[in-house]
Every structure is written in C-alpha cells, then in structure tokens.
Amino acid sequence: MYRQGVADFPYFLGIDRLDQIATPDDRVCVLNILGGESRTVTPVSHAFSGGNVVFGTSPGRSGQVLKTPTGDIPVFNTVLEGLKAGYRFNTGVVYLPPSGVRDGVAELIRVNPDLRKIVIITEKIAVHDAREIRAMAQTSGIDIVGGNCLGVADSWSRVRIGGALGGDHPEESLIKGSVAVFSNSGGFTTTIAQYMATAGWGTTTLISSGKDVYIQYGARDFAHAFGNDPRSRAAVLYVEPGGYYERGIEWSKPVVACVVGRWKSRLTRAVGHAGAMAGSGDSAEDKERWFMEAFGVSGIFTPATPHVSVKGALVTNIADIPAALTAVMALNGDSPDFSPRGSLKLKPWIANDQGLQLPSEIALPVVTAPSPYDQQIAGLSQQIGAVIARQGMKDKSGASVMDAQTQVTSVHGHTVLDLALQPLEAMFALPLVHEIADANDRALLDVAVAAEVNLVGDPILVATDAARAAGNAPNAIMAVAAGITGPRRLERALACAQALIEPFARSGLRDGRDEGFDLSKIQVDDETRRLFLATADEADDPRPEAMLDAIAARGGRSVFLNFLQGLGARVSRDAILAAITTTIAWGPLVRKRISRLTAETLPWYLRLYGVMVGATIPGQHHQSGSLWGIPRAERFQDWTMADLCCLAMTGKRPAPNEALYIQILIGLLISNGPGAISAQGAKGAVAADGPQTPERVQINKAMMGFLTHSGYSHGGNGFEGMAFLLDQFRDSGLTDPANPNHGLDLRAMARRFAVAYKAEKRHAKELGQEVRALPGVHHPVFKGKPENFDPRERFIARFMEERGEYNVFHDFYRHLVREMFEVGASPYVFCVNVDAIIAALLLSVLWKDYQSGALTSRDLETAAFTVFLFGRMIGAAAEIDDHLNRGRNMDTRTPASACGHVL
C-alpha cells in the first residue's frame, strides 16, 4: 500500500527534483538531539544551514537546550510537546539508538501532519524495523533517506540536514558546482566531493544513501530527481555490492559510477555492507556490468585505459573519479566548474624514520599541510621530545624488564649481556638517552664525568672520608656524596640545559653534532648569556678550559659547545656540562625517544656519576690537578670511564683486558628489573617526592634511595664468590690468572673440594643442619637437566673465548660443577652461574695486587661491593628517570588491604 507520489513509480516518491532534498525552507526536528553524535554534529549543521533546526527531542530533558554557534536549539521530551509549543517542521532527523528508530519514525509520522521527509542517521537498524519503516512511510507519503547514512546536503543553498557531510568544516568540501553526488558510503560522499574539487568540479546536492538492505532513498529515486534538476549537469555515484538498486536505470544525463567491492565475493558469508546476501546476482562485477551496459562502454575507466562515453564512465577506484568525470564531460562539451583546487598526490604531513635509511620511494619528504593544519603541526613540532602518559608505576618499569625464562634483564630494549660488551660510557648514557651512544658522544661523556670525579676542596670529600672512617660500607659513603649533590648545586647546570634546549628546539636542528649548523639563528637575551658564563668566583676553576681542551683533543663535536664558545667570554663548567648533555640528548630528543624533562635533568645524573665514583676514592688521593697521581689533562683527554672506575677500585689505570673485565662486570650488574630492592629504593624515593611535580623531585635523593636499598646482602655478597675462590687458590702459587699455562691441575683441585664438600654435606645432614650453598654454582631456574647452563654465564664465556681471553677461576668453576657430579656431591651437573663469572673476572683484575699485599681481603670485599654499585648506579638512573617521567605521586605505596600483620 502506498500513496501515489511524483511520476509513475510503483511506490511513493515525493522528491521530484534534487533541489528539493535539502532546501533553505526546510525546518528540522532532531530526535535524540542530545545524543553523543548529534551533540557534536547538529550544531555544525545548524550553523552551516543558517539555523534550520527548530527543536529536538530527548525524553526527560525537556527545557534543556543544545548550544550552537547560531543560537540555542530548544529540547522537548517528545515531538508532540514541541509542536504544542508552537514549533513547526517538515523534516525529521533520527539519531536514536537502533532499537528506538522505528518508534521514532512512527512518532514523527503520526503526530506531525506537515512532515515530508525523514533522514535516519542511525546504523545497525534491524531489517525487521527497516521493513516496517518503509511500509509506514510508503503508506503516509513520506520520503526517507537512510538509515545508516550521513544525511543530505546542498552546496548551492548551503544546507545540510542530518549527518555530518563535510565533517566539522562543511564549507571546505561542499563547494558549489554542477555535479550531484549519490553515495552508499557516508564518508566517501565528502571524500568524492573533495576529490572532484581537485579537477575543478563542484557539487549541487549530495546524498549519503546508506547501505543497509533497505536503502530508503535509492539510486532510481535519485536518477529521477537528478534528471529534473537543472543545476546538475552530471552525477557521480558510489556503489557497493548488494541489492538491485542500480539495475536497469536509464540515466538522462552523464554519470560516473564508482563500483567498489569485488573482494566481497571472496567472502562466502553475508557481508553487512550494502545489504543482500553475497553471490546472488548483485555482486560488484554484476553492478559494473549494469553500468557498462547503461553507458555503452566496454571496460573500466582508468588513466591508462580511459573507457568513456557521452553517457558516462565506470571506475573502481575513487581516485579516478575526477579524471573520468572530466573526460565524460569533455565529450559532452562541458568544462569544469572552476580551476582545480589542490592535488591528490601523496603528501606526508608527519613522519619519523627513527634514524633508518629508507629507500627514497618510501622516505617521502614531509610537506606543509594546508591551513589551518600547518599551524597545528608547527605547534606539535614546537613541543620537542616524547610525551609520556603517567600511570601508577608500583613494581612497574618502562626502563627495565627481566625475562623470567632467561633471567636476562633488558634496559630500554638492550639486554645487560649486550650492554656488557659496550664501552662503559655508552652504558652510562643509555638509561638517560635510551640509545647506545656513538664514539663522539662517548668522548663527551668521558670528559663530563672525568671533570666531576676529583673532589678536592669540596666538602663532599670531608664528609665521605668521615663516613669511611666511621666504618660504612661503600654504598653509605656514596650516599653521603649523593646527598650533598643536591638541587642547589645543579641549579645553574639544569638552567643552562633548559636555556640551550629552548632556542634550539625551534631552530630545526636535527643533530647535536652538526657543526655546520647556522648558529646565527640562535639568539639569547643578556640574562641567558650571563647564565652560561663563568662568574668571578670561578676564575680559579681550571676545569672549563681543561674540558674544552680535552674535547678538542678527543675530536668531540657539539653545536651547543660551539654556540657557547661563540659567546665571546669565559664559559662556566656548568654550561659546558649542559652543552655536553644536550649534545648527547639532542638526537633522541628530536626523535622523541626521550622527553624534554629527561634532557633537562641529564646534567644532574652525569654530575652524580662523577661524584659517586669520586667518593669511592679516599680523600688523600684527591689533589689539586691530579687524582691518585694522574694529572688532570691526562684524565680528561685520555681516560675512559672504565679506567676511572678501575682507578677507584684499584688505585691505578687498568690494562686493556682489565678495563674490559670491569666493563663486562658493570654491564652485567646494571639491572635486575624493577623488582630488585635497589630499584625499589630509587622508585620509592621518586614517588615520595611526587613525579607529577617533577621539578621538586630530588634526583640525588633518589640515587640515595638506591644506595640505601643495597647492602651486604644485596650487592655486597659479590665478595662471597671471590672469598670462595681465594680459599681454593690461596696457596696455589698462581701468578697470572689470565695465563692458560698456569701449571695448576684444576681438575684435581676441583675434585678435592668436591669430595670434601660431599663429606661436609653428609655430616650436615646427619646433624640436621642446613648445607652451605656454594657461591657461583647452581641456579633455581637453570636446573634439573643432566648438564645445566646459565645462559648469561655462557654468553660471557663465549665472548671471552672468542677473544682468546682466559680466566683460571672461571675454568676452575667449570671443573668444579663436573667433579661435584662425578663424586656424587650433586645429583646432576649444576650450572656455573653468572655470579661465578663476576667473581672470576673481578678476582682476576685484583689478583696481582692481592698477592703483592697492596690489597687486603677487606679491599677485595669493598671492590666487589663497589663494582656492583657502579653497575647498579646506571640501572638506578634508568629507573629514576623512568619513574620521574611516567609515575604518579606516591604510587609505590601498598594499600593497607594488601598489607599483613604478624604476631
């Protein structure tokens, strides 16, 4: 049953011409006007259309209004209430949820005799409801567009009804012209209009038809109104598979049809898009054929194969629409509406290759986006560095993670095993710049830290000597030094870093080592300039010049140092430190690997590194111009961090292989993940200061947190392995642990111990006592196989073997685990664990001095603890920086409900 509408259609159709679809006279009522989607879309439509929405409904919200740029839209509980209030409308827009759409349509039809049109935006309406909606509208003589559509718009009269055609800036896409658009896809309705503008074609009426089984305003209905619309010289259709809507239509004017969706026939299931069940004569291929027959063309139009007739062209890619349209219209003697606007070529707006060298066809250069997006993107680039979301960081870390299977910890994506093979300077930088430092950056780091190690004249030295004399372990001594390296001592260095980052952030500098960079772009005011320069009080400080000389001698390059040296006056040590840290940080900063906060706090970490290493050297060795007898210039220009660390432990510069051992030891000890007590101490200290106000977090106090959370059990136990080895080798006559021709029968030594250990075990068992565990042997994870290996020990052992390095203590351990099994002291061959290799390497470095009496066993114990602290200092820096960037105030506390009480 239907009312007879225009023409002789066997169903009701009320719209005779396209200009009747969205007219300036239409008055609109929006159902569910305060719903999430309508709330953002309706104000734009209303304003664009000059205020065509008379009221909206939202049950229970009568009396509220929807604010729009052109005035408030009143809201009523029901349509009837709005009508009774005196409002009149001829067009309904439905934003109701799917289950309410049918009833909403019924309401519009039943209570408003003036109703002529309904636009249904809602998607996922049940077919059942769509059927009934169709029947209701047909019976009552109402035109419906949708559902599951974005409504209709008219570029001539600047009216938009229903959904969001043209998005939040409809004037950008809805450009007046001569082409009508009918599209199964809402999004593509706008996109097609945009594409056409690139060939100079504007639009008349645009209809987003929706693509449900019931397309209430279909292609045939459109064809009729298009034929009668004198404004429209041509039409573009975007069509998807499903339904017979486009079959057998005779088009009275040129048409470009875009049929997309061949892929759908590969799916054997029904596809929700465009309705009908796949594979029933309404596939994409079928529809292509219908249009080809209608246009009298033999193929699909592409730029390479321009099949086209005066009647039209078929395309299968929307990018081909503009060219096809121009070609069809040329055959009709028609030219575009206006000059082409823009182009559809690839234009990357934002890109980051993360330092990769990509092939040129992929590494397309970034172009300036059209206004206003260009200013917005420029705004983004002003914001230098990564932006990191905050979250509760209790027992979590963005810096470190331990693989439970391999027990190998990674820091910023690098396993400690890999780190152990990197130069020590690179390790020290990693937690802060998240990347492995290159040779230039390492040279700068060496100088920066070397300049902080000698504490002569500094109260720190008095305090640390006093702490040492009081019998403290090295962690407590270092904590004293860290405690004095407080915020005020770093105030100027941090300010210098900020003052360097600020102007360079806007300069386009990509590489902090780019010495060709045009520094004339960088301007600073007098106050900032003064910040960088040494004060009169610092006239006697020889370090600025020594640092600059050392950097020059090492061939270090830095834009920031160049800038400082161009200031024409003596630069302070703080400024040089800041220039070094900013150089190292710059690449990761512009690549957004690290935050600006990290880059700005870097000087604090480097100073702490230097001071903490320096604090382990007794006060008498800190002299003006020399440290433990090493002249300043030599230390600054030649020494690496591994050399300095070794100096702190042994009082001398290590041989190359000894430096390597120290580097490996420190690398292995960097981190055990956020669950380690040392990490927890550091994280707790940051949480307690409140990372959400990062400027108040005392990084030196966080370092103390790590130090107070290490101790004789956690860190100091490294000596146990050495003590065990000392027992075994004390009277062996060993002179050089690195010489494989040592002349010792390691197997016999190991067997002797194994036999004794077995007896000891049996005895302990008889007495019901606990058997002592052997340091360096066995592991709770790597066990249970006939022969067991700790992968960390294997990794280092393989590396050493490949380099031809030999270590007698490690060799002894390998014999020991086998002999223990042979004599029955262990049920299978235990693994030699990573602690063994640490003990073996360290003892190898210290052996000769121990044998000569230069070092006591107490010194060995201190050295073992110190090397742990050096390593963990790096891991702690990573956790501190991570927690500072990601954490929330007091986020490490444990809720009372999770705490226990014991008696």
Partner 1 sequence: MQVTGMLTGARLLAHVGFPTSEILGPDATEDQIQGLIDRHGLIFIKPLFRGGVGKKGKAGLIGRARDLGTALAEKERLYFAEHRHGNAVAKANGVTFEAGVPAEHEVYFAITDDTRFRAPTMTLTHRGGVDIEELDKSEIASVPFDALTGMKAFVVANALTEIGAPREIISPLTQHLPKLWELMHHYGMTTLELNPIRMMPGRDGRLTPIACDLKCGFDRDDPRVGRLGLPDYLFAADISEFEQEVNQLRTHQGQSDVFVINEKGTILAPTFGGGANSLVTEVLGDVAIISSDFGGNPPYEKMKAVASICYRHFLKQTNVLFIIGGKSNNTDILETFRGMGDALREHFARHGPVPLYVVVGRGGPNLVRGMGNLADTLDSLGVPYRFFGFDSAISEVVNHAKQVDQWMRGGGRAEIARAMNISV
Question: Any bridge partners for residue 181, and if so which?
Answer: 206, 236
Q: Quote the least distance from Cβ 388 to partner 1, whole Å.
A: 6
Calpha distance 9→13 (Å, rounded)? 7
Q: Is 423 helix (H, G, I), strand (E, B) or coil?
A: coil
Cβ closest to partner 1, residue 200 vs residue 474: 200
Q: Which residues contact 597 (CB under 8 A, 6 or more apart)?
A: 385, 694, 884, 885
Cβ closest to partner 1, residue 416 vs residue 577: 416
| Among 568, 569, 596, 567, residue whose Cα is nearest residue 581 | 596
Question: Any bridge partners for residue 73, and if so which?
Answer: 66
Q: Quote the least distance from Cβ 199 to partner 1, whole Å.
A: 12
Cβ closest to partner 1, residue 335 vs residue 352: 352
Note the residue count of the chain.
Answer: 903
Q: Quote the least distance from Cβ 512 to partner 1, whole Å.
A: 17
What tokens appear for 620 in the block?
Answer: 């008498």
Cβ closest to partner 1, residue 263 vs residue 712: 263
Cβ closest to partner 1, residue 302 vs residue 732: 302
Q: Quote the least distance from Cβ 340 to partner 1, whole Å.
A: 13
Interhelix angle 596-615/439-453, rounded to 10 degrees, is 50
Q: Quote the least distance from Cβ 808 to partner 1, whole Å.
A: 33
Question: What Cα–Cα distance (Å) separates residue 754 from each residue in 722, 724, 814?
Answer: 18, 13, 12
H or E element: which one contains 583?
A: helix 573-590
Question: What Cα–Cα distance (Å) separates residue 653 from each residue in 615, 727, 870?
Answer: 17, 27, 17
Residue 20 has what DSSP assignment? G
Contact 234, 328 (CB under 8 A): yes
Cβ closest to partner 1, residue 379 vs residue 768: 379
Residue 516 has what DSSP assignment? T
Calpha distance 155→174 (Å, rounded)? 5
Calpha distance 740→274 (Å, rounded)? 79
Cβ closest to partner 1, residue 593 vs residue 818: 593
Q: Quote the least distance from Cβ 802 to partner 1, whole Å.
A: 19
Cβ closest to partner 1, residue 147 vs residue 715: 147
Q: Quote the least distance from Cβ 51 to partner 1, whole Å.
A: 20
Cβ closest to partner 1, residue 247 vs residue 794: 247
The end-to-end CA distance of the chain, in Å, is 85
Q: Quote the least distance from Cβ 166 to partner 1, whole Å.
A: 7
Question: What Cα–Cα distance (Å) separates residue 277 from each residue in 147, 238, 241, 429?
Answer: 18, 19, 9, 61
Q: Quickly count: other Cβ atoms within 10 Å of residue 71's Cβ.
A: 13
Q: Quote the least distance from Cβ 539 to partner 1, whole Å.
A: 43
Which position has the token pair 């339904």?
243
Q: Quote the least distance from Cβ 351 to partner 1, whole Å.
A: 4
| Among 875, 428, 862, residue whose Cα is nearest residue 648 | 862
Q: Quote the least distance from Cβ 96 to partner 1, whole Å.
A: 10
Which position has the token pair 């981190």?
671
Cβ closest to partner 1, residue 291 vs residue 636: 291
Contact 882, 435 (CB under 8 A): no
Cβ closest to partner 1, residue 140 vs residue 626: 140
Strands of 152-154's sheet, edge to edge? 159-161, 152-154, 203-208, 176-183, 234-239, 255-259, 312-315
Question: What Cα–Cα distance (Å) separates residue 502 from each residue in 399, 496, 497, 696?
Answer: 26, 10, 9, 21
Q: Quote the least distance from Cβ 260 to partner 1, whole Å.
A: 4
Q: Quote the least distance from Cβ 518 to partner 1, whole Å.
A: 26
What tokens appear for 770 in the block?
Answer: 């606990």
Contact 359, 218 (CB under 8 A): no
- Report how far Cα 108 is from the mean position of its chain's Cα atoms: 49
Q: Quote the least distance from Cβ 281 to partner 1, whole Å.
A: 10
Cβ closest to partner 1, residue 377 vs residue 726: 377
Calpha distance 506→246 (Å, rounded)? 56
Cβ closest to partner 1, residue 176 vs residue 592: 592
Calpha distance 570→59 (Å, rounded)? 75
Calpha distance 892→869 (Å, rounded)? 23
Cβ closest to partner 1, residue 282 vs residue 425: 282
Calpha distance 727→821 (Å, rounded)? 21
Which position has the token pair 């490949």?
802
Q: Quote the least distance from Cβ 610 to partner 1, whole Å.
A: 28
CB-count burial class (<10 Å; 0-12, 13-18, 19+) for 623: middle
Cβ closest to partner 1, residue 82 vs residue 186: 186
Question: What Cα–Cα distance (Å) separates residue 658 from each residue in 556, 642, 646, 844?
Answer: 26, 9, 8, 8
Q: Quote the least distance from Cβ 289 to partner 1, whole Å.
A: 17
Cβ closest to partner 1, residue 298 vs residue 375: 375
